[in-house]
Structure 1
Amino acid sequence: MNRMSEQDVMSSITNSWVGSLAVNLLCYSTIFVPGYFFIHFVKKSKYIDRAGSSCISKAIVSFVYGHGYDRIAGEENTQSKIAGAKSSNNNCVQLIFCFVGLQVSYLTWGVLQEKVMTKEYQNADGSVGHFKDSQFLVFVNRVLAFSLAAVYLGFSRQPRHTAPIYKYSYCSFSNIMSSWCQYEALKYVSFPTQVLAKASKIIPTMIMGKIIGKKKYEYFEYVTAILISAGMTMFLLGSTESKSGSDNSTTISGVIILAGYMAFDAFTSNWQGELFSQHKMTSLQMMCGVNLFSCLLTVTSLTQQGSFGPSLSFMFTYPTFFWDCLILAVCSASGQLFIFHTIAVFGPVVFVIIMTIRQGLAILLSCILYSHPVTVLGILGIILVFIAIFMRVYCNHRLKQLQQRRAAVDTAKV
C-alpha cells in the first residue's frame, strides 16, 4: 500500500513539467556533485605529478587534465584533409548529397518528433497509449549518436585528443536540457511555433557569446536579430491554432520552456565553439565526448526515477512507436554527421542557407500534415524571419569578402 502511494506521488510530480524538471535535475546532481569533488581533489592533490603509466592513471589524467601533445600536428592534418576535400572535383555532387541528407534527416526528424509527443499510439489489441517521457527520447538519440561517433573514431585516423574530458559535461548537460525542452514544449505549443522559436534564437546566442567568449558583433547582426524577433512575434500573434478552451497557464508554460530551450542551446553552441578554439579537436571527437556524458546523465536519471522499464515496455507494446523512435534516433545521429561534413567541406555560410531552407520546409510540412492554421499576419511574420536570416547570411559573406580584399591589399603593400 505504501509502495503504491509512493508511486502515485512520483507520478503526480512528474506529470507536470516543473516537477519532471526538478526530479531530472536532482538525478543529474548525483553525477555532477561527486564529479565536482573528484576533480577538485585530483587537482588539489597534484595527482598529475605522481601519476603512473597504468591505464587508470592515464584515464584520470585524461579526464581531469587532458593531453597537451601533438596539437600542432593534429591541426595541420585536419586542415590538409579539409583542403583536400575542397580541392576535389566532385564538390557539386557533395553539395547535393549534403543538401539532400540534411533535408531528409531533419525533416523526417521534425515530423516524427511532433508525432511522438502529440499523437496516440494503438497496437493490434486495440489498446491506446500516449508517450510522455521526453528524457527517454533524448537518451535513445544520444546512444545512437555516441555509438556512430565511437565506431567512426575507432576506424579512422584522428589527431590526438587534448581537451580534459570533463569539460564535455557542461555542453552535454545543456544539450540534454535543450533537447528535453524541445520535446516538452510540443505538449504546449505547435511544431511551427517551435520552429520559429529556433529561428529566433540568434539573440540569446549572441548574448551567450558575449558572456562566454567575449565576442563582438557587427551592427547588421543586431538589426537582423531584432527583425527575426519581430517576425516571431507576428507569427505568434497571427497564429489561430489556440482554441477557446486553452488557458493562459498553457501559453505561459510553452513560453517558459521555449525560453529555456533557447538559453541552453545558446550555451551549448558557444561552449563547444570555445572548446574547438582552445583544443582543436575534430567534430567527431566533440560528438563522441558530448554524447558520452549525455548517455551517462540520462541513463542515471531514467534508472533512478524508475522510468526506464515503463518506457521500454511502451516501446515494445506499441510496435509503431518502436519504429518511430528508432527512425528518430537514426535521423538525429545522421543529421549530426551531415552537419559536420557540410561545415568542414563548404563552410558555415552554405550550411546556414541549407538549414534555413529546412526550417521553411518543416513549417510547411507540419501545417500540411497536422492542419496548423496560420493567418496572413503569421505568414508575413514567417516571411520577415527568413528574409532577415538570408540578410544575415549575405552580410556575413560580404563582410568576409571585404576583409579578404583588405588583407590582400595590405600584403601587396608590404
Structure 2
Amino acid sequence: MEAQVSGLRRVLLLIFCVAGIWTAYISQGVLQENVSTKRFGPDKKRFEHLSFLNLAQNVVCLAWSYMMLKIWSRSSGEGAQWWSFWSAGITNTIGPAMGIEALKYISYPAQVLAKSSKMIPVMLMGSLVYGIRYTFSEYICTLLVAGGVSVFALSKTSSKTISKLARPNAPLGYLLCFLNLAFDGFTNATQDSITTRFPKTTAWDIMLGMNLWGTIYNMIYMFGWPQASGYEAIEFCKRHPEAAWDILFYCLCGAIGQNFIFLTISRFGSLTNTTITTTRKFVSIVVSSLLSGNPLSLIQWGSVVMVFSGLSYQIYLKWQKLQRLQKKRKTT
C-alpha cells in the first residue's frame, strides 16, 4: 500500500513539473513574441531594444536564486564560488542576446525550430575536432533535424508573418540562432567543467553565478556609454507601461520555469527534463501559430514534424542507453 501511495505521489509530482514547465515557458514564448512584434501605444512604436530582455531576466533570476539559496539551500560552502562563472557568463550573455535579436528577422516558430537543432553543431564539433565516432542512429537523428530546419528555412513564409517582423532577413536571423547555439555549447561545457571540479555545487549556485555575471555584462553593454540603448529601453517602458508589464511577466515566467526544471532534474533526472522541454518547444510552435497569427504552410508543418521526430528518436536512444547502463550496474 505504501509503495502504491509513493508511486502515485511521484506521478502527481511529475504531472506538476510538466504543467509548470509548459505553462511557464509557453507563456514566456508568447510574451517574448509580443514584445518583439507588437506596436505599443497610440504612436504604434516597436520595442527595438530586445537585448534589454536579457538584462531584465538576469536581474529577476539573480534575485530569485539568492532568495532560494537563503531559504532552501543547505550547502556546506564547498561548491563553486560566484567568480568561477565569469567565462561562462560571457557566452551566456552573448548567446541568448543573439537568439532574441533573431526575432527581428525571423518568426518565433522559426527561431524555436532553429534553436532545437543544438545537436548539429555538437556532433560537428565532436566529429571534426575530437574525432568522436557516432552511431548510424545518431546520424539519422541529425539528418532529420537538419533536414527539417533546412526545409522550414527554404519554404515560403506567409506575408502576414513577414509583416509583423521589424526587419525581415531570414539568412541573418538563422545565422544569429546558430551562433546562439555555438555559444550555448561553450556555456554548457564550462558549467560541466565547474561542477566536475566542485561536485558540491548546487543548481542554485549555478543560477546565482551565471545570472550575477550576466547582470554585470549586460549592465556594461546596456549602460556603459552615453549612447547605450538601456536608457532608451527604460524611457520606452516609461512611455508604454504595457511593454514594461510584458517584460516583467516574461522574466517571472523564466524564473519560475527554471525552478521547475531544477525540481525535475533533481527528482526524475536530466533525460525526463529533456523530454518535457523538447515536447514543450513543439507545443510552443503550435500555440504561437494559433494565438499570435503566424500561420505555417503544410510544408513548414511537415518540417516541424521532421525536427521533433529526430529529437524524439534521440531521446529514445538516450533512454535505451540508460536502461543498458542500469542493467549492467545490477549485474555487477
Tell me what 1:371 maps to.
293
Matched, 1:293 2:213: yes
Quickly say closer, same or farther: Cα 1:196–1:310, change in 2 above 3 A: same
Amino acid across the alignment from 1:265: D
CA contact (8 A) 2:203 2:262 kept: yes
Is the alpha carbon distance of 1:271 and 1:309 closer, same or farther for their aligned partners in structure 2, counting shifts above 3 Å?
Answer: same
- The yes-or-no answer on 1:240 pairing with 2:157 is yes
Match of 2:48 in 1: 132
Check conservation: 2:79, 2:205, Cα contact below 8 A.
no
Deviation at 1:194, TM superposition (A): 0.5
Match of 2:3 in 1: none
Change (3 A) 1:295 1:190: same
Match of 1:335 among 250, 257, 260: 257
CA distance in 2, matches of 1:144, 1:215: 39
Deviations 1:323-357 (A, max 9, x none): 10110010111111111111111111211221122
Aligned to 2:116: 199
1:387 corresponding residue in structure 2: 309
Deviation at 1:290, TM superposition (A): 0.6
Residues in 2 aligned to 1:349 and 1:193: alpha-carbon distance in whole angstroms: 25
Could you tell me how far 1:218 is from its partner in structure 2?
4.5
Q: Distance in 2 between matches of 1:322 and 1:260?
A: 28
Deviation of 1:145 after TM superposition, in Å, equals 0.2
Tell me the equivalent position of 1:352: 274
SS in 2 for 1:110: helix
Residue identity matched to 2:289? C
Contact 1:234–1:378, Cα closer than 8 Å, also in 2: yes
Equivalent in the alignment of 2:192:
273
Please list the CA deviations of residues 7-46 of structure 1 after superposition, one character each: whole Å capped at 9, or x if unmatched: xxxxxxxxxxxxxxxxxxxxxxxxxxxxxxxxxxxxxxxx
Inter-CA distance 88–210: structure 2 relative to 1 (3 Å threshold): farther
The aligned counterpart of 1:107 is 26
CA deviations 1:126-166 (Å, max 9, x no partner) are: 33321111221110000000101011112231132343543
Q: Write the distance in 2 (CA, Å) between the matches of 1:404 and 1:178.
A: 36
Shift of 1:277: 2.2
Cα offset, 1:298, TM superposition: 0.8
- The separation in 2 between residues aligned to 1:342 and 1:209, in whole angstroms, is 28
Q: CA 1:223/1:362 → structure 2, altered by over 3 Å: closer, same or farther?
A: same
Superposed CA offset, 1:91-146 (max 9, x none): 12211111111011100110111110111111xxx333211112211100000001
Q: How many residues are aligned here?
A: 320
* Residues 1:213 and 1:140: Cα distance change in structure 2 (over 3 Å): farther
Change (3 A) 1:218 1:408: farther
Bigger radius of gyration: 1
Which consecutive segments of 4 or more residues in structure 1 shift more than 6 A?
Answer: 209-216, 243-246
Separation of aligned partners in 1, 2:117 and 2:280: 15
Deviations 1:34-75 (A, max 9, x none): xxxxxxxxxxxxxxxxxxxxxxxxxxxxxxxxxxxxxxxxxx
Structure 2 vs 1, CA of residues 206 and 106 (structure 1 numbering), >3 Å: closer, same or farther? same
Q: Aligned partners of 2:87, 2:237: CA distance in 1, in Å?
A: 30
Which residue identity lines up with residue 140 of structure 1 in the other structure? A
Q: Do the aligned residues in 1 keep the contact of 2:111 with 2:174 (CA within 8 Å)? A: no
Instruction: State the alpha-carbon separation in 1 of the partners of residues 182 and 262 from structure 2.
Output: 22
Partner of 2:36: 117
In structure 2, how many angstroms separate the alpha carbons of the residues matched to 1:120 and 1:212? 45
Higher relative contact order (CA 8 A, sep 6+): 2
- Change in CA separation of 1:394 and 1:277 when aligned onto 2, cut-off 3 Å: same
Unaligned 5+ segments in structure 1 are: 1-86
8 Å CA contact retained: 2:54, 2:97: yes
Aligned runs of 1:310-325 on 2, under 5 Å? 310-325=232-247
Code of the residue aligned with 1:271 in structure 2: it is T
For the Cα contact (< 8 Å) 1:238–1:374, is it kept in 2?
no
Deviation of 1:408 after TM superposition, in Å, equals 2.8
Any idea what SS the aligned residue of 2:104 has? coil
Alpha carbons of 1:268 and 1:242: their partners in 2 closer, same or farther (altered >3 Å)? Answer: farther
Give the Cα separation in 1 of the matches to 2:129 and 2:85: 15
> In structure 2, do the counterparts of structure 1 residues 355 and 318 end up closer, same or farther at CA, with 3 Å as the change threshold?
same
Question: What is the aligned-residue RMSD (CA, Å)?
Answer: 2.6
Tell me if structure 2 keeps the 8 A contact 1:239–1:373: no
What is the TM-score normalised by the length of structure 1?
A: 0.71
Q: Are the aligned partners of 1:188 and 1:254 in contact in 2 as well (CA < 8 Å)?
A: yes
**Does the residue aligned with 1:134 lie in a helix, a strand or coil?**
coil
Larger mean CA deviation between 261-270 and 198-207 belongs to 198-207
The equivalences for 1:12-411 within 5 A come to 90-122=9-41, 126-156=42-72, 157-163=74-80, 165-207=82-124, 218-241=135-158, 250-280=169-199, 281-305=201-225, 306-409=228-331, 411=332
Alignment check: 8 A CA contact 2:91 2:183 kept: yes
**Contact conserved, 1:212 with 1:271, CA < 8 A, in 2?**
no
**How far apart, CA to CA, are the structure 1 residues paired with 2:217 and 2:141?**
37
Q: Distance in 2 between the 1:154 and 1:352 partners?
A: 28
Gaps of 5+ in 2: 1-5
